[in-house]
């Protein structure tokens, strides 16, 4: 049973997901402090209980505070949640490592792979923080930030190589509208969160082109098979990809206009170039940065990824978005398990 004492938790990153998860933690009873890079964001969260740049119209809990001082945020933290853009994670870790309280769990809220290395975010945390693997957890699932910030019910998966760590984190990351389940398949949980972004970009592309529900349903179905084959080849459990961190996240991300990856794909489908899409997006679409390293990992492991490959061709300007759909059924449909 969870202690009646309120745990103190730190959230590193004040973007839409970091702020939303801080709200989840605070409304679950944790004393929650957010690290914000920009002073004006920290001040707005602390003083007016808003983060209007990332969560317009959302009132934050009265108990939630923020600071630009990493030392102040991490001091006394019993759990640390990290939510920064995946490509900037490593550069933030040296400062965190020096201030990290001993023996506390560190939780990745990020859904990406490091472009230069192809490493998952938990692997970057392991390298950069130089801590025991059993202290690291990841949280993933059908988690569109604005819906959760509005207290719309949802669930997530907390995964760690240590079941005790996963349970401790899940107990804190649970409230009346947000339920955390646990597993120990970190590889599958993380890759589910990464790969669904790539399929969501494909869905956005065909939506931008003007294709309908049949095309999108075909991509989602074949995309899940593609995700599963890739993740299993790197050590994931197939059941993880059919759960919240795989299929659940895939459905939410592909269907919602709130999805940044879906939006990025839609702009590509409407004819915008990759650099134009990046300029138009005021938030990070992790899927765009993950395409190249995922395709490299797929090639290294002998996995065919026709959908993600076609997304890569569109991003590179070598494939007209209107021609993406005919290429999605080049592999045989499996005839059974």
Catalytic residues: 196
Q: What is the spatial distance between Cα 242 and Cα 227, in angstroms, rounded to a whole number?
A: 10
Q: What is the spatial distance between Cα 198 and Cα 202, in angstroms, rounded to a whole number?
A: 7
Cα distances (angstroms) measured from residue 63 to each of 26, 45, 51, 130: 7, 10, 14, 32
Using an 8 Å Cβ cutoff, are 249 and 261 in contact?
no
Q: What is the spatial distance between Cα 153 and Cα 304, in angstroms, rounded to a whole number?
A: 36
Q: How far is Cα of residue 128 from the mean position of the Cα atoms in its chain?
A: 19
Q: What is the spatial distance between Cα 77 and Cα 84, in angstroms, rounded to a whole number?
A: 18
Degrees (nearest 5) of the Cα angle 153, 137, 202?
60
The pair of three-digit structure tokens given for residue 259, joined into one six-digit string = 């999805």
């Amino acid at each position: 049973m969870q202690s009646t004492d309120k745990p103190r938790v730190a959230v590193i990153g004040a973007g839409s997901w970091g702020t939303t998860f801080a709200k989840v933690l605070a409304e679950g009873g944790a004393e929650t402090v957010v690290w914000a890079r920009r002073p004006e964001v920290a001040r707005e969260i602390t003083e007016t209980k808003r983060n209007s740049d990332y969560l317009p119209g959302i009132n934050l809990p009265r108990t939630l505070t923020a600071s630009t001082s990493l030392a102040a945020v991490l001091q006394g933290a019993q759990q640390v949640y990290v939510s920064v853009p995946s490509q900037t994670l490593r550069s933030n870790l040296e400062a965190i490592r020096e201030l990290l309280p001993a023996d506390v769990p560190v939780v990745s809220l990020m859904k990406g792979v490091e472009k230069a290395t192809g490493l998952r975010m938990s692997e970057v945390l392991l390298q950069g923080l130089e801590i025991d693997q059993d202290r690291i957890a990841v949280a993933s699932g059908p988690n569109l930030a604005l819906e959760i910030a509005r207290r719309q019910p949802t669930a997530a998966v907390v995964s760690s190589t240590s079941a005790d760590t996963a349970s401790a984190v899940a107990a804190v990351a649970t409230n009346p509208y947000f339920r955390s389940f646990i597993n120990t398949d970190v590889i599958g949980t993380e890759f589910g969160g990464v790969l669904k972004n790539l399929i969501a970009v494909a869905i956005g592309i065909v939506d931008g082109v003007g294709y309908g529900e049949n095309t999108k349903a075909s991509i989602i179905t074949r995309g899940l098979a593609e995700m599963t084959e890739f993740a299993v080849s790197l050590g994931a459990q197939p059941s993880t990809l059919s759960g919240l961190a795989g299929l659940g996240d895939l459905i939410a991300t592909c269907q919602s206009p709130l999805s940044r990856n879906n939006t990025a794909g839609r702009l590509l489908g409407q004819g915008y170039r990759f650099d134009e899409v990046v300029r138009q997006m005021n938030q990070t679409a992790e899927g765009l940065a993950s395409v190249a390293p995922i395709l490299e990992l797929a090639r290294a492991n002998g996995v065919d990824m026709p959908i993600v490959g076609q997304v890569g061709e569109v991003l590179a300007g070598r494939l007209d978005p209107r021609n993406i759909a005919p290429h999605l059924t080049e592999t045989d449909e499996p005839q059974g398990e």
